[in-house]
Amino acid sequence: MEFCVTVVGVSAIFLVALTLLTATRGGRGYFSPYTLEYYTQSEITIFIRAWPIYHSTPKKAVNEMLNYLVDSGYVAVSSPENDIILPVFHWNSAEKDGHSMFYKAFMSEHILKWSKQNTELGYRNGYA
């Protein structure tokens, strides 16, 4: 009986240690082109991202580029024809990647700065 308790205890400690050693943290970002809302959520995975064990509730996040486009009148909220949610990024510390194609434009301080300095180009070319 004592042997069984020892084996179970050692196995439990081993599994907890393995989980802690292989756990990674990460996050996801989503964008709705109709509602113009940007959401992020965090995640924890174990066994080098194989098993997600936690996803936080998506939270509305601030995005300077999106705020600029809405405040300048370049884009406006519309009623969704279908509820499309586009992935902006998905990363975790194990993979260290996971950006979508428009991540750099969506998060770029350089593009935002240039856009603010060159507002007349959008109007002159008929985009506003």
For 31-66, what is each residue's pLDDT tens digit? 888 888 999 999 888 776 567 788 899 999 998 888
- For helices 109-117 and 64-71, angle between their N-to-C axes, nearest 10 degrees: 20
Residue type, 36: L
Lowest mean pLDDT among 57-61, 79-83, 124-128: 124-128
Residue 124 has pLDDT above 50, yes or no: no
Is residue 80 within 8 A of residue 34, CB to CB? The reply is yes
Residue 89 DSSP SS3 = strand
* Residue 107 to residue 88: CA distance in whole angstroms: 9
Tell me how far apart the 2 most distant CA atoms of the chain are, in Å.
Answer: 84
Residue 21 DSSP SS3 = helix
Percent of the chain topping pLDDT 90: 9
* Residue 59 to residue 91: CA distance in whole angstroms: 17
